[in-house]
Amino acid sequence: MRNPLIKHYILLIVLSLFLGSSSFAQKAKKNKVRLKANYVKVMNSEVYFDLQATAKVNGENITIPNVELVIYNVVDDEQIELGKATTNMGGKSRFTLKDLKSIKPDSTNTYNIEISFEGNENFSRTSKSISFKNASIEATFVKIDSINYISATLINKLTDSVVIGQSLTLQVQRLFKPLLLKEFNETDENGSILVPIPDGIPGVDGNITIEVVLNDSAEFGTVKAIVNAPVGIPIVDESTFDERTMWSPRSKTPFFLLILPNLLTLGIWGFIIYLINNLFKINKS
């Protein structure tokens, strides 16, 4: 138990140093930092926190790159450090955990996470707390009467009971942002939804990756289940990369251009060599 105390001591010393240095600085006006944290749980995969540090500087909202954020798991009175993350050029950072087992819930079975920023010469220290309970979505692809559906159930992992009346979103996983299929699917008395999959959605080899998402709920954060539905239109590769075209690289020259110019060139050089040979013949005779 000594470790957290040492950490607090170090924090105090560091803070007082900062305070001291700032009092010597000439007009060290520190900007207030706002931390945003979103908790996302992906079923049968990882859990992550999307963090962002922003501040209002000269009336404008800017993102803060390259600052260190410390993530703690707060269990009742204990603060366990989970790790650190540094924001990228966009002021964002993603802190990933393998699953929820790596953190401990408090006595009310709520997970509490605190993200803190120590502050530096330009920005004041701040922290942000988020809390959430563990929920799961079980999603499957079903075919009923030759119509394709996604069936999903929202379960509260604490009580192992279904959650009624929550709005789930159905979307297709895409490269940059997901493509929305249907929003506001409310879970019924069984905590389930049954949504038909529209036709005509393209996917590699006809497979569409569908996400069933509980978006930013106050109680459970964001929970996402990924299910593969092999009911898409297979992608047809239209690329001419493998063909012989006028714009392909040298290795794929069209045959006409490979044969005719080379024949002509070789033919003409053949004549030229014959002529030069004639010069030698004249020389010898």
Partner 1 sequence: MKNSNKSSRRKFLNNGLKLGLITTISGIGLSKIAAKLSAQTANDSNTKMELMTMDGTLIQVDSSEVIEVAHSKNEDRKYNVREGMPNRKFVMVIDLAKCKNALKCQSACNKHHYITGEHAWLKVYKMQESEDTAPYWMPTTCMHCDHPACVTVCPVDATFKRRDGLVLIDNERCIGCRFCMAACPYSTRVFNWEEPNQGEITMNMQMKHQTENNSVEFAGMPSIKGTVDKCDFCPHSIKENILPHCVTACPNGVFYFGDKYEDTVTNGEETLRLSKLLIDKDGYRLMESLGTRPSVYYLPPVNRLVDFNEGLDNYTDFKSVEKSE
Partner 2 sequence: MKKTDSLLLDLAPQKFGRIGIIWTWTLIIISLIGIVAYIDQVIKGQVVTNMNDYALWGIYISNFVFFVATSFVGTVTVAILRLTNNSWRTPIVRIAEIISVAAIIMAGITIMIDMGRPDRLLNLFIHGRLQSPIIWDVIIIPIYIVISLLLLYFPLLPDFALLKLFFEKKNPKLSKWYGKLSLNWTGSLAQKTIQAKSIQLIAVLIIPVGFMLQTIDAWLFSTLFRVGWDSTNMGAYFISGASVAGVGALVTVVYVLQKVYKLEDYITDYHFDKLGKFLVLMCLIYLYFNLNEYLIPQLTSKKEATTHINVLLTGQFAPLFWFVIIGGLIVPVIVLLFKQGRKPLPMFIIGLLVVLGSWWKRYLIVTPTLLHPFLPIQGVPESWHHYFPSLHEWLITAATLAMALLIITALVRYLPIIPIQRTADEQEELELNKNTAK
Q: In this complex, which beta carbon is closest to partner 1, that of residue 92 or of residue 128?
A: 92
Identify whether the C-beta of residue 43 lies closer than 8 Å to the C-beta of residue 88.
no
Residues in contact with 192: Cβ distance below 8 Å, sequence separation at least 6, in sequence order = 151, 152, 153, 154, 162
2 binds, among partner 1, partner 2, none (CB under 5 to 8 A by kind): none
**Is 50 near partner 1 (CB under 8 A)?**
no
Q: In this complex, which beta carbon is closest to partner 1, that of residue 102 or of residue 108?
A: 102
Identify whether the C-beta of residue 194 lies closer than 8 Å to the C-beta of residue 187.
no
Among 8, 32, 84, 143, binds partner 1 (CB under 8 A): 84
CA dist list (Å): 250 to 32, 254, 257, 258, 267:
58, 9, 11, 10, 22
- Give the ranges where the chain is alpha helix by DSSP (H): 2-24, 255-284
Residue type, 42: V
Residues 245-264 contacting partner 2, CB under 8 A: 246-250, 253-254, 257-258, 261-262, 264
**Is 32 near partner 1 (CB under 8 A)?**
no
**Is 17 near partner 1 (CB under 8 A)?**
no
3-state helix, strand, coil in the chain (%, to 5): 20, 45, 35
For residue 237, the minimal CB distance to partner 2 (Å) is 22
218 binds, among partner 2, partner 1, none (CB under 5 to 8 A by kind): none
- Note the residues at the interface with partner 2 (CB under 8 A): 246-250, 253-254, 257-258, 261-262, 264-265, 268-269, 271-272, 274-276, 278-279, 281-285
